[in-house]
Amino acid sequence: MKMKKLYIETFGCQMNIADSEVVASILKDENYELTINPDEADLYLFNTCAVRENAEKRIWNKLQHFKGIKRKNRNLKLGVIGCMAQHIGNDFKQTGVVDFIAGPDAYRNIPNLLKSIDESGFQADTELSLTETYEAILPTRINNAKISGFVSITRGCNNFCSYCIVPYTRGRERSRKVSDIMNEVQDLQENGYREITLLGQNVNSYNYTTSTESIDFPKLLALTATRFPDLRIRFTTSHPKDISDELIECIANHDNICNHIHLPIQSGSNEVLKRMNRKYTLEWYLDRIQKIRELIPDCGITTDIFAGFCGEMEADHQQSLDVMKQVGFDAAFMFKYSEREGTYAAKHLDDDVPEAIKIRRLNELITLQNQLSLESNQRDVGKSFRILIEGKSKRSETEIFGRTCQNKVVIIPDTGEKIGDFVPVTVNDYTSATLFGTKIS
């Protein structure tokens, strides 16, 4: 039977990338094979994000263009899946181009939804589940040439930070079975992957309990590192409230666990952190940073921070700038607050920081971080790292690039190394975004 073609465009966080691979696997059993050419697709999927308004705007814009695409290819089906499907729901029907929607816990039902479209038109499944972890589904890797892959270890989130839509779009937190996780890592290794990232909204609250044992995140991490000594292991995202000494020690004790912790601070002001319902104080956060620096002196530390949350005063913003300087983050994802319908903040707090001030504060965060990244990179000059080669440099044919375990990109002259090789390098130059080095021969 002729295979049908599936094209998936993924937006949002790494968890969506991992989920697209789960969906590809489910649809493979329905005779769909992935294509990289959208023009030949029989089924086109947008795997979407709802975390900020801009993420959703992008999708609305894409849907505008889709009217023309469907006019040319009348058999083409379009599905919107993921967090925005969950958030917006049946309103997608009004676009006239979307054939079905499926939320993050409804992917096993996509084959049924597809079958019903021809008879009944627009289909939707946005049922959230307390148990779905896509057990026993081995994801179909979307880009086979890759050497770095993702493995979800938890789904959902129970933290309910007051600004955040994720607990509503992804439902309650569930930890996946250890054996499922190990099988996926094994599969990636067998397919030539050299690096894996364990994923969850709050990976360090991972807990898989059976009648005989209870595996928490440090245990899972140690198990993965020991079982796969040739793989480089990363994890994201860690929540500051759950970053224990035991976890930091585990990273310090295993050479193949990357010395990089992404630890979103969100704000430097205790009052704002409280309104955000982040469940830690600035002092706690700084204590964790100190512990990391003590046990893993060369640890890369990156963060998420956003400007203009409800009630944020100039003094609060200043405290965010101060803590960024004090920690000296290697890199940061920075945003301005975007109110999300349905969250605690949208219902109970006033989105009272004017847009112009949000933008100005965000720009101040970005300017400062550029300086901090520059200083962080400057400190690496003269040091040696082992980088994992990821590909050709974008700026030159004669250069390639790889990543240090601290997660920094290093560009080196191409002397015949292959993608997936680990190469020792010395850093000799830098910008705020990149390091430049040479291979140690």
- Residues of this chain that interact with ligand SF4 (CB under 6 A) are 157, 159-161, 164, 166-167, 201-202, 239
Helices (H), 343-438: 344-348, 355-378
Strands 123-125 and 148-152: unpaired
Strands 174-175 and 154-155: antiparallel
SS3 state of residue 405: coil
Shorter beta-carbon distance to ligand SAH: residue 264 or 268: 264
* Binding-site ranges for ligand SAH (CB under 6 A): 51-52, 163-164, 166, 201-202, 237, 239, 264, 266, 304, 306, 335, 337-338, 340
Question: Before 237, cis peptide (omega within 30)?
Answer: yes
Tokens 């903040």 -> residue: 345
In the list ligand F3S, ligand SAH, ligand SF4, none, the entry touching 160 (Cβ below 5 to 8 angstroms by class) is ligand SF4
Shorter beta-carbon distance to ligand SF4: residue 265 or 435: 265
Q: How far is the CB of 343 from ligand F3S (least distance, A)?
A: 12
Burial of 364 (0-12, 13-18, 19+ CB in 10 A): middle
- Enumerate helices (H) and strands (E) in the chain, giving the number of each: 13, 21
In the list ligand F3S, ligand SF4, ligand SAH, none, the entry touching 12 (Cβ below 5 to 8 angstroms by class) is ligand F3S
Q: Locate 104 and state its tokens.
A: 């993050």
**C-alpha span between 206 and 242 (Å, rounded):** 10
Q: How far is the CB of 227 from ligand SF4 (least distance, A)?
A: 28
Q: How far is the CB of 241 from ligand F3S (least distance, A)?
A: 19
Contact 195, 234 (CB under 8 A): yes
* Binding-site ranges for ligand F3S (CB under 6 A): 12-13, 15-16, 49-51, 82-83, 165-166, 169-170
In the list ligand F3S, ligand SF4, ligand SAH, none, the entry touching 369 (Cβ below 5 to 8 angstroms by class) is none
Shorter beta-carbon distance to ligand F3S: residue 105 or 316: 105
Q: How far is CA 137 from CA 82, 151, 217, in A?
A: 18, 12, 22
Paired strand residues for 216: 207
Q: How far is the CB of 149 from ligand F3S (least distance, A)?
A: 17
Shorter beta-carbon distance to ligand SAH: residue 369 or 393: 369
**C-alpha span between 56 and 11 (Å, rounded):** 10
In the list ligand SF4, ligand SAH, ligand F3S, none, the entry touching 337 (Cβ below 5 to 8 angstroms by class) is ligand SAH
HEC assignment per residue over 195-236:
EEEEECCCHHHCEEECCCCEEEHHHHHHHHHHHCCCCEEEEE
Q: How far is CA 405 from CA 185, 250, 430, in A?
A: 18, 15, 17
Q: How far is the CB of 51 from ligand F3S (least distance, A)?
A: 4
The residue sitting closest to ligand F3S, measured at its beta carbon, is 12
In the list ligand SF4, ligand F3S, ligand SAH, none, the entry touching 167 (Cβ below 5 to 8 angstroms by class) is ligand SF4
Shorter beta-carbon distance to ligand F3S: residue 79 or 82: 82
In the list ligand SAH, ligand F3S, ligand SF4, none, the entry touching 200 (Cβ below 5 to 8 angstroms by class) is none
Per-position DSSP letters for 30-81, written without gaps between them:
TTEEE-S-GGG-SEEEEEE--SSHHHHHHHHHHHHHHHHHHHH-TT-EEEEE
In the list ligand SF4, ligand F3S, ligand SAH, none, the entry touching 301 (Cβ below 5 to 8 angstroms by class) is none
In the list ligand SF4, ligand SAH, ligand F3S, none, the entry touching 83 (Cβ below 5 to 8 angstroms by class) is ligand F3S
Q: How far is the CB of 157 from ligand SF4 (least distance, A)?
A: 3
Shorter beta-carbon distance to ligand F3S: residue 20 or 269: 20
